Chains A and B, each alone.
Chain A
Amino acid sequence: MSRIQTVLQTLKGQGRKALIPYITAGDPHPDRTVELMHTLVEAGADIIELGVPFSDPMADGPVIQLACERALKHGTSLRQVLEMVKTFRSRDDKTPIVLMGYLNPVEAMGYEVFSDAAKAAGVDGVLTVDLPPEEAEDVAPLFAERGLDPIFLLAPTTTEDRIRAISAHSSGYIYYVSLKGVTGSAQLNVDDVAEKVSRIHALTSVPVGVGFGIRNAETAAAVGRVSDGVIVGSILVDTIAKNQDDIEALKSSLVSLLKPMREALDELAS
């Protein structure tokens, strides 16, 4: 069983929900990323989604676009991101890491070289925003041979046939995009999410994490109630931007955003 599957199964056994924070690697500076990853774990993260910066992040709103620009200004490359994961692993061999990004940096590195390097660095899952399962035929077997979980997206517009097909290609978890829009959008409709996620649960046994539009303990709890985990990105990246010149303030702002979400999620279990 993969590290992701182990963590999600353990949480399920405890009746708890996963807290999955996202940060962009290299933001505000490549030297800070590993430290921030440990901070996320201390604040209650079960799994970390680590963004690989890309010059053209088409599915992202302004907050994560700017994070990519900050990271790329310091030349953060996919190879460096893998080094960061390796360094993180020297102190933490339990918390699963999912790389989240766009396909072109992976293509540039080469599918096989990337798969080997990701495995060696201690990556557990890979989420490529612009790679639907139909186009993943070449890379999927390489991930499978190395035990890397392929994480795919489902959206409000995904039909039942596609939910079945995409689930069949997924392991670890499925990322349900809670709304039509880019990352950082605000118009989360919890009733819609509840309805769609219950339909997804009826069609697959793969756990479902929900992301987009989760900004505080209240929205985290509302989404956690109906899913297996909540994914929090833009609100964290925004606080990184605001505190980029003061690392201690930055770390405590991350903790003060995540702690209440952790507590709200754990209250659901009791």
Chain B
Amino acid sequence: MSVKLTEEMLRALPDTRGHFGAYGGRFVSETLMDSLMQLETEYLKLRDDAEFQATFDKDLADYVGRPSPLYFAERLTRETGGAQIWLKREDLNHTGAHKVNNTIGQALLASFLGKKRVIAETGAGQHGVATATVCARLGLECHVFMGSEDVKRQSLNVYRMKLLGAEVHAVESGTKTLKDAMNEAMRDWVTNVDDTFYIIGTVAGPHPYPMLVRDFQAVIGRETRRQALAQAGRLPDALVACVGGGSNAIGLFYPFLTDESVAMYGVEAGGLGLSTGQHAAPLSAGRPGVLHGNRTYLMEDENGQIAGTHSVSAGLDYPGVGPEHSWLKDIGRAQYVSVTDDEALAGFRQLTRVEGIMPALESAHAVAYATKLAASMDKGQMVVINVSGRGDKDIHTIAQLDGIEV
């Protein structure tokens, strides 16, 4: 089933309680409700505030380096032998990923709300670094929660955060990964709710987070749309982005939702393969439930306990997904697929070899799927991949798989 979306329908989403159809909402303990409602009220005011938006746009231009280029990957296109492949270069942003678009926006919100203490959760460490960066710039106290497993596999980013003045808290509970980091951030928030702003890194969590993170990331899609028209003289036929929580994907997709001719593919982490259960692909193999403040597709067991996840990429290693993606899946506007660890690694190597661009392992999932997709399309068609981050942080992981000590 696919529904023709209109601007009017999109303006009505999420509804006043934060629902995208059956998904989203605000499932938190009572202590946080007042803060969330205040945040929603203030954000809706600032969204239409010219001064706030001008500051945001200026920071994106002068500090992040936007617009990021839309680049025609000519050799990759030739090697693939199908549709033209174009890359949206979010890896060229300051701090090396799309995450900073959102942290700039939320740190501005924190400043407007007069909050001096910032907390964040992180998986791969990209969101943690992006948060520590904007906190350093604005002189805000910064605490980052990170699963102790991730602290081990992303030690470079841990050190970057410390250099930036953030305090990194290793989380030892549960599976010691991103979901547990988010639990711990929520626990800190409930304890320090008066003076603390929680910068959530993806389009999940309780309302209004999925909405405001989407709005801050939508700059990706707005630029892509403009650049495609200017550089290729047309809209793309397909957009491809990796989906963990889904912020880079929604950022790319959102400004195209009413363009019926543009197909959208969200690529989840297939890990060792969906049939093994060792993956992080709730939209492909999960079912709806409630976690971290919203209703969405989840990986869980038959008793509603959240399942452990596996992905070679720490940034996709999360059992849930943003509620707007759950809605887009159900109405058929976007397709959600998965690629395995091995396919993603092959995508990493291919882009590195033929274009001289090392994508983050997260983004390599999008590369791997997009080349398969492009190969099945006509030469005259156009595919855009969101290269959401750069791969420097993953060099240790890749080297280890190659049996090399670096």
Contacts and interface: CB of A to CB of B under 8 A. Distances in A.
A79 interface: yes
Nearest to A129: B29
B58 interface: no
A210 to B, nearest CB: 14
A107 B180 CA distance: 21
Contacts of A166: 30
Given A56-B183, A105-B304, A130 B27 contact: yes
Interface string B272-316: 000000000000000011111101001010111110000000000
A60 B304 CA distance: 18
Contact of B290 (A57, A78, A130): A130
A185 B31 CA distance: 14
B179 A108 contact: no
Interface in A59-106: 59-62, 65, 69, 72, 77-79, 102-106
Interface centre among B179, B190, B192 (most CB of A within 10 A): B190
B31 A156 contact: yes
B173 A65 contact: yes
Interface residues of A, number: 44
B26 A159 contact: no
A68 to B, nearest CB: 9
Contacts of A57: 183
B191 interface: yes
B35 A108 contact: no
A267 to B, nearest CB: 31
Interface in A120-149: 129-132, 134-135
Contacts of A105: 303-305
Nearest to A177: B31
B332 to A, nearest CB: 24
Contacts of B190: 59, 180-182
A40 interface: no
A182 B27 contact: no
B305 A72 contact: yes
B7 interface: no
B289 A108 contact: yes
Given A104-B290, A108-B289, A108-B304, A132 B27 contact: yes
A54 B180 CA distance: 13
Interface string B22-45: 000111111111110000000000
Contacts of A65: 173-174
A269 interface: no
Given A130-B290, A132-B26, 11 more contacts: A55-B305, A56-B179, A58-B292, A59-B186, A69-B174, A102-B290, A103-B27, A103-B290, A107-B289, A107-B295, A153-B30
26 contacts: A54-B305, A56-B179, A56-B180, A58-B183, A60-B187, A62-B173, A65-B173, A78-B303, A78-B304, A104-B289, A104-B298, A105-B304, A106-B304, A109-B304, A130-B293, A131-B27, A132-B26, A132-B27, A134-B26, A156-B31, A157-B193, A159-B34, A162-B33, A162-B34, A177-B29, A182-B191
Ranked 3 nearest A-B pairs via Cβ: A108-B304, A105-B304, A155-B31
